[in-house]
Amino acid sequence: MTKINILPNIAFFDSSQGGLTVWENVLKRFPNLNTQYLGDNARCPYGNKSQETITRYASEATLYLASRNALLLIIACGTASSVAAKELQHLFKLPIIGIVEGFCKFVASLLQDKTRTVAVLGTKFTVRSNRFNEELGANGVEKVWARACPLFVPLVEEGISQGPMVDAACDMYLWDIPEDTKVVMLACTHYPRLTLPIAESLERRLGKTVIYKSIDGDWVLKLGSKEQNDPIYLVESSLPIVNFVEQFIVSNQYENILNHGEKQVLCTDSPEQFESIARFFTSIPLPKVEAVEIQT
């Protein structure tokens, strides 16, 4: 593969545009960071594919981004993180982080009573992989309730983040969430665009206040109808990723070589369509989206 003259950067990879939610939050903390983002929209979604296929796709993306001077790769995809991150960490010298380990450790730190339920909302393959259950258990969480929400991604990618269809989908997936749930994890990077309808569905089901924990602080999304001081925390994966990036930059003394503000956004199919959908995931102006071909 031809070496390309690109500034040292931190790379992000997702099956499509959802990982831009992670990219955006990292850039909120480090606005001058050199970054490249690759969305494999030609082969999206990953959530209904086999473990072997997902790992192959993620390996090809890793090799491609490594050839473009990446110093760190963030797998900003819940499915690929659940399925392929550990294997990629063994295969490549490039430092690689997925959203699972740090996310689970962060959530466990929120859970003072480890007997309370943590709910995980993700794709079919994320839930079937059991990776979140394993990592949460390793961090002392005793009860995990996982639910696949396959309608969420296509709704978001159609630009539908509120209204009757979204409300119906949320109620369908959350109707039997346990009464003692304390934390709800958004284990897919598309799902932060549905935080409000998810919070409203949780309140309809459990009657409790829902607090969204984000890089911008804690936000009350929905006040509970029950008079009790026992809120539910709704959490997405960006905050632990942002903290990891900060530690990575400082520990490797990369402050001076990563601060030119170079941003590149790549996709594997139809950059115009990619960009039209991307606006639902980030408020940061995108550079011109470039279509690239990943060698297989």
DSSP string for 234-289: EEETHHHHHHHHHHHHHHTT-TTTS-S--EEEEESS-HHHHHHHHTTT--SPPPPP
Q: How far apart are CA 40 and CA 38, in angstroms?
A: 6
Cβ–Cβ < 8 Å for 160, 169: no
Residue 128 identity (one-letter amino acid): R
The shares of helix, strand and coil residues in the chain, as percent rounded to the nearest 5, are 40, 20, 40
| CA 17 to mean position of chain CA atoms | 10
**Which residue is it, tokens 């960071």?**
33
The residues pairing with 267 across neighbouring beta strands, listed in sequence order, are 39, 291
129: nearest Cα among 66, 187, 198: 187
Q: How far apart are CA 179 and CA 75, in angstroms?
A: 32
Active-site residue set: 77, 188
Q: Reduce the secondary structure of 152-213 to three states and give it as a string.
A: HHHHHHCCCCCCHHHHHHHHHHHCCCCCCEEEEEECCCCHHHHHHHHHHHHHHHHCCCEEEE
Q: What is the three-class DSSP state of 114?
A: coil
